[in-house]
Amino acid sequence: MRRRAFLTTAVLSALATTVPPLAAAPAARAATAGATPQTRADQLLATMTPAQKEALIRCDFGALAGLGIPALSIADASAGLRGESGVTAFPVPIAQAATFDADRTAALGAAIGAEGRAKGYNNLLAPTVDLARHWHSGRQAEGMGEDPYLTGTLAATFTASMQQQGVVATVKHFAAYTQEDNRSAVDVTVSDRALHEVYQAPFRRIIATTPLTSVMMAYPKVNGTFAVQSRALFDDLKNTIGLQGHTVPDFWAGDDQVAAVRAGMDLVGLGPGGVQAPAGSITSGVGSARLDDAARRVLATMIGAGLFDNPLPAPAANVSTRAHQDLAHDLAVHGTVLLRNENAVLPLARPARIAVIGPAGTDAITGVSGSSYVDPGNWTTPLQAIRDRAGSATTVTFAQGSTGDVPLPAVPATALGPGLTVSYYAGPQPTGTPVATRTVSTIDFAQAPLSGLPPIWSARWTGTLTPTSTGLHRFSLLPSGTASLTLGGTTVVSGTRHMARFFLGPFDYPLQGTATLTAGTPVAVEVTYTNATAQYGTCGLTLGWQPDSLIPAAVAAARTADTAVVLANRTAGEDMDHTSLDLPGDQNQLIAAVAAANPRTVVVLNTDGPVAMPWLNSVAGVVQTWYGGRATGTALAAVLFGDSDPAGRLPVTFPANEAQGAGATPATYPGDGTTVAYGEDVAVGYRSYDRHGQNPLFPFGHGLSYTTFAIGDLTLAWDAAASTLTATAKVTNSGTRTGWSVVQLYAALPAAADAEPRRLVGFRKVQLAKGAGTRVTFTVTAQDLSTWQSGAWRLTPGLYTLSAGQSSRDLPVQRTVTLG
Ligand code: BGC
């Protein structure tokens, strides 16, 4: 109860400080009193010519003067407003999901909606509800995890409260978009059942709450047809799921805009990549009924969200209020997951000396790269936040240890002897007869290094590298294309980057590696490169290194400290799928070395998703922070020092190795270059681990508190008239301090349903004082217990087993009920 009161206050004060309450202009109110958005849309539509309707769905608002239709102004907004300053950078969506708290995502949707309006936007591209199908996904932090129920429940409150601020939300991306590799062309082969039960399910939950919203169609093809041109997907979205609002394409998606509108695309001209189809071709190509339907949907969505009645204010310079900043901190705390806490190393008991190690300053990552990146403005770095909270009796020392996931400075000519011999080749393989051979002093170019090379070319550099120091060396390649580095015949770095840097967001995305070398001992070096895999028309490569390891100094700092806190990071975002589960660069070596020097080592993972933890058993604590926006530092410090309980739980399973979970074979990720098979069907996330009896590193739903909880006394009651199952469970704080519990309810369906071993059907987050207990209630609908069979939802008659606990693998109580 206290929590609800807090949130209401937070939301209300957030709104009061940023936008005036919405109120219809008097004239509009008089003319439209009582009319539904659809009726008003129809009235307006009746006054429009076909050319005007086409102009509307092309977003050509200049051609609609006199009709009183406000122009749409859009911004990406999953974690705050991209491309703006003076806004609040909130935790990224996977951290939002880790809150397991739909009241908090409601407050977030309202805050971003309010900031969007105050900045002059009336259409915000959020939330993102693509499911984390596998750990490779470069955009996994832009979605809300692997579970459709969790994602849909959180995103539904986010969307509803965002639209209540007088903006249209655009929920993205429909559907089954789970990889960056070949994203604009790959053909996803997925069953109708997995589409409905898994990938479309979050949209269904959102649209059930907010039917008059908009949905962005995804880049890939689904079962042979671009999503933006797929009648089957539009039919699912509009007829089965019941979207009353409009659809938009992801930017530049698909290959035939007239076909897209014919299939069901409504606002075809949203954003860059706009309409290339010749004027009039949509009207003549789709027929008047479809044109009317598209235009009606666009108008109804805009009217329903209040765009006609509440003109946008003049954009303000700074819309980030104190209340929003507090909300960002609160969300980041609630999304922080304590994965391991041996010997109660946390919370830090204000030791005399703390060594902070790793990218903990301005080099700490605050957001996902790409279209969701939000400028954090003035923010407190983790190092500063730890210093601020440590108190005068604690000495905080800092050692860089590792620079984290960054490109390294170019290897200088002085290390490359007389230079490298480079041979250039026509075509993607550096074999056959070269078109030219030269000597170069280093490898560092962002455009063709030689005139006259064909559009697709490759090269091989050979020579010797003479190290100037002994020990661990870091190397990086920053290619637009595919590159490899071998030293003394051993491959040290290899891989592909479509672009060295995605055109949105501030991060490069290098390939990383390490090698142990000896000062003065030359080693043969070979680098290969092709731009065949680069964004068309681009090329580039930098061979970087860091010859002097920062690890020994970090180990020395750790040795003299009571506790070592090591931050590690990984860059992620659009175009940035991961090919390895390992932390990039020298970070695993750093953590292992620090842990060997100090048994009270706490690792802070500032990452977009799971990473391998080969050092897990030698560190005392592991904290998963994701990217917390402007609150990345303050939330971490609050949790480390125990000002706040680590209240987050994992919205994704952490695999024990790269072979676990869905997408573990080339056919299922990244596919064969044309098609990717979602062979796991509905077994995504923990469903896959459960089906195959795999033990993950950390299960879905896991997260420790600084106290402990006991869950018991599960009750079930089926209400046949309402077709709902009410479950209750008792949760008691069995530990020694106040903390947050997330009680989770899972259902196992009857064998005849041929379903996954268990699925999440409820979660409740409660704060309990030491010794206190409460009963939590879950309402499970028949739909939550159904499967999609032969084109319809079915509740299979039989025995249902409901289990409650604190993760998908910690379910101490269960009860059964027979339905149907
Ligand atoms: C992304 C969308 C985004 C759009 C506009 C695309 O690359 O896939 O999620 O809304 O860019 O920034």
* d(C-alpha 804, C-alpha 813), whole Å: 6
Distance 314 CA to ligand 1 centre (A): 25
The number of the ligand 1 atom at minimal distance from the alpha carbon of 271 is 5
Q: Please, are residues 787 and 193 in contact by the beta-carbon 8 Å criterion?
A: yes
* d(C-alpha 11, C-alpha 431), whole Å: 63
Record: fold of 709-819: Immunoglobulin-like (2.60.40)
Query: Where on the phi/psi map is residue 66: left (φ > 0), alpha (ψ -120 to 50), or beta?
Result: left
* 659-683 pLDDT per residue, tens: 999 999 999 999 999 999 999 999 9
Ligand 1 contact via 125 beta carbon (within 6 Å): yes
* d(C-alpha 757, C-alpha 746), whole Å: 10
Most informative mutation of 59, 72, 73, 76 for ligand 1 (most atoms within 8 A of CB): 76
Q: Please, are residues 155 and 144 in contact by the beta-carbon 8 Å criterion?
A: yes
* d(C-alpha 534, C-alpha 448), whole Å: 13
What pLDDT does residue 386 have?
98
* Count of beta carbons in the 10 Å neighbourhood of residue 290: 18
List 147, 181, 236, 250, catalytic entry: 250
Measured by CA distance, the residue closest to atom 9 of ligand 1 is 371
The angle at the Cα of 781, spanning 780 to 784, to the nearest 5 degrees, equals: 85
CATH 2.60.120.260 domain locations along the chain: 413-546
What pLDDT does residue 791 have?
95
Query: Where on the phi/psi map is residue 344: left (φ > 0), alpha (ψ -120 to 50), or beta?
Result: left
* Count of beta carbons in the 10 Å neighbourhood of residue 432: 11
Is 250 assigned a catalytic role? yes
Distance 42 CA to ligand 1 centre (A): 31
What residue type is 59 in one-letter code?
C
The number of the ligand 1 atom at minimal distance from the alpha carbon of 173 is 9
* 212-253 pLDDT per residue, tens: 999 999 999 999 999 999 999 999 999 999 999 999 999 999
SS (H, E, C) 403-431: CCCCCCCECCHHHHCCCEEEEEEECCCCC
CA atoms within 13 A on the CB side of 444: 12
Does 620 have pLDDT greater than 60?
yes
Question: Which residue is listed with tokens 């290098």?
Answer: 510
Measured by CA distance, the residue closest to atom 3 of ligand 1 is 371
Name residues whose C-beta falls within 8 Å of residue 731's C-beta, 6 or more positions apart in sequence.
Answer: 709, 710, 711, 741, 743, 766, 768, 773, 774, 775, 776
With 0-12 CB in 10 A as exposed, 13-18 as middle and 19+ as buried, what is 433? exposed
The partner residues of 523 in beta bridges, in order of sequence, read 465
Ligand 1 contact via 124 beta carbon (within 6 Å): no
What pLDDT does residue 346 have?
98
CATH 2.60.40.10 domain locations along the chain: 709-819
The number of the ligand 1 atom at minimal distance from the alpha carbon of 218 is 8
Share of the chain above pLDDT 70, in %: 96
Ligand 1 contact via 178 beta carbon (within 6 Å): no
Ligand 1 contact via 130 beta carbon (within 6 Å): no
Measured by CA distance, the residue closest to atom 12 of ligand 1 is 371
Ligand 1 contact via 139 beta carbon (within 6 Å): no
Distance 370 CA to ligand 1 centre (A): 8
Distance 504 CA to ligand 1 centre (A): 9
Name residues whose C-beta falls within 8 Å of residue 792's C-beta, 6 or more positions apart in sequence.
Answer: none
Distance 250 CA to ligand 1 centre (A): 6
Distance 138 CA to ligand 1 centre (A): 13
Q: How far is CA 714 from CA 90, 120, 509, in A?
A: 36, 49, 48
The number of the ligand 1 atom at minimal distance from the alpha carbon of 125 is 10
Average pLDDT score over the chain: 94
* 485-538 pLDDT per residue, tens: 999 999 999 999 998 888 787 899 999 999 999 999 999 999 999 999 998 889
Distance 219 CA to ligand 1 centre (A): 10
Candidates 590, 596, 550; CA nearest to 566 is: 590
What pLDDT does residue 7 have?
34
Measured by CA distance, the residue closest to atom 8 of ligand 1 is 250
Ligand 1 contact via 250 beta carbon (within 6 Å): yes
Record: fold of 413-546: Jelly Rolls (2.60.120)
Q: Please, are residues 527 and 519 in contact by the beta-carbon 8 Å criterion?
A: no
Tell me the DSSP string of 701-735: T--B-SS-EEEEEEEEEEETTTTEEEEEEEEEE-S
Measured by CA distance, the residue closest to atom 5 of ligand 1 is 371
Candidates 645, 616, 614, 615; CA nearest to 737 is: 645
Q: How far is CA 357 from CA 241, 396, 421, in A?
A: 49, 10, 39
Does 267 have pLDDT greater than 90?
yes
The number of the ligand 1 atom at minimal distance from the alpha carbon of 272 is 5
* 536-572 pLDDT per residue, tens: 889 999 999 999 999 999 999 999 999 999 999 999 9
At how many degrees (to 10) do helices 551-559 and 587-597 cross?
A: 30
The partner residues of 623 in beta bridges, in order of sequence, read 338, 604
* 567-583 pLDDT per residue, tens: 999 999 999 999 999 99
Does 20 have pLDDT greater than 70?
no
Does 1 have pLDDT greater than 50?
no
